[in-house]
Amino acid sequence: MEQPNSNYINDLSGDNQEFKARLIKILKKELPEEIELYFLQMKNKDLLLAAQAVHKLKHKISILGLEKSYYIAEEYENNLNGSIIILQIEFEAILRIMQKFVDCL
């Protein structure tokens, strides 16, 4: 499985370490909240709201340079919108990898 990286964050912030620190702070705050919301929606079996949570998480997937994972998330979002949970295991593995990476930033 591909691994997250901070290339996009580094490219976006350039030499501005203050801006980079703010981006990382936002990521560290928002990612766990969005993951928690996703799992809550799945627990409640509200697949449409879970799909919305996946949609928001796709932005974080992209920021962390997970190109292949982005396409998995996109397909999973579409599946959830059709009340299908195919790719749930793969998507949730991506979330764990992302959270672990962000925790170490």
DSSP state of 6: S
Dig out the tokens for 32 from the structure.
């766990």
How many domains does the chain contain in total? Answer: 1
Cβ atoms of 65 and 7 within 8 Å: the answer is yes
Within-domain flag for 2: no
Within-domain flag for 68: yes
- Asked whether the whole model's pTM tops 0.75, one would answer yes
**Which are the contacts of 58, defined by CB distance < 8 A and separation ≥ 6?**
70, 73, 74, 77
- How far apart are alpha carbons 62 and 18 in whole angstroms? 21
Within-domain flag for 1: no
Within-domain flag for 69: yes
| pLDDT tens per residue, range 12-46 | 999 999 999 999 999 999 999 999 999 999 999 99
Cβ atoms of 42 and 87 within 8 Å: the answer is no
Print the domain residue range for 60. Answer: 7-103
pLDDT higher than threshold 90 for residue 1: no
Within-domain flag for 46: yes
CATH number at residue 56: 1.20.120
Question: H helices within 1-105, ranges in order?
Answer: 7-13, 17-43, 47-63, 67-81, 88-103
Within-domain flag for 23: yes
